[in-house]
Amino acid sequence: MTDRSARRDELGHALRALDDRVDAACRDAGRRRDDVHVVVVTKYFPRSDVDLLLELGVRDLGENKAQEAQAKLVDEGALPADVRVHFVGQLQSNKAALVAGFADVVHSVDRPKIVRALAKGAGEGHDLTALIQVDLDGEDPGRGGAAPGAVIELGDQVVESGLRLGGVMAVAPRGADPAEAFARLQDLSARLREAHPEAKIVSAGMSSDLEQAIAHGATHLRVGSAILGSRESHR
């Protein structure tokens, strides 16, 4: 067996195992499986893995660094037209135009300056969806995100800018109970939807906490290592 076909089998098994986990979590939570989408986060992994994932039917890809994403998903060859690219990493305003050029959904919009830079980069007629990243960890603001109290106003600014407001995103704080954090995110999502009913996306849950995220209304899981393996050897 070639390396390529061995890796294809490995990724195929991992995708099926993940699907079983998501199925079980949806059943436990009394949710429809169709309402939960998996974004496969391919950061640090090579384009050859992206191509295998595409062969295996994956259509939502996530990346967290602008230059890496541009190189891997654009410069190394165009992706099929039905693939959606999700940018999930912290975003500098000077990289916003680059990201607006390849992303369909930006999960990490957390301040007015980023809203303006993305809107400018996207230009007229470009369909870019913005999620408001919420900082659920007042202790460690290093990972980005808007303060919970700023989410509604930022949502208004997204709509005024001409970007499409998709919803909210968060990462569970380190060392905290993810269920408690995702419950707060679910609450904020409900409040945002009172003002913007179309903002239905709740991007929450990674390899280690996707069950808790599904229990608390996640519509989009961002999953890396559970599918691709450990990133340690790829850094």
Task: Report the residue from 69, 89, 96, 135 that binds ligand PLP according to the rule CB under 6 A.
Answer: 89
Give residues 47-66 in contact with ligand PLP (rule: CB under 6 A).
Answer: 64
Contact 48, 73 (CB under 8 A): no
Candidate ranges 118-126, 147-155, 177-185, 223-231; the one touching ligand PLP (CB under 6 A): 223-231
Q: For the chain, what is the largest distance between any 2 Cα atoms, rounded to a whole number of angstroms?
A: 55
Candidate ranges 6-14, 117-125, 156-164, 200-208; the one touching ligand PLP (CB under 6 A): 200-208
Candidate ranges 117-125, 177-185, 211-219, 220-228; the one touching ligand PLP (CB under 6 A): 220-228
C-alpha distance across the termini of the chain, in Å = 27
Give residues 102-141 in contact with ligand PLP (rule: CB under 6 A).
Answer: none
Is residue 166 within the footprint of ligand PLP (CB under 6 A)? no
Is residue 224 within the footprint of ligand PLP (CB under 6 A)? yes
Rg (CA), the chain: 17
Task: Report the residue from 8, 43, 65, 86 that binds ligand PLP according to the rule CB under 6 A.
Answer: 43
Which of 64/129 has CB closer to ligand PLP? 64
Which of 45/117 has CB closer to ligand PLP? 45
Task: Report the residue from 58, 61, 206, 213 that binds ligand PLP according to the rule CB under 6 A.
Answer: 206
- Chain residues in the site for ligand PLP (CB under 6 A): 41, 43, 64, 88-89, 171, 206-208, 222-226
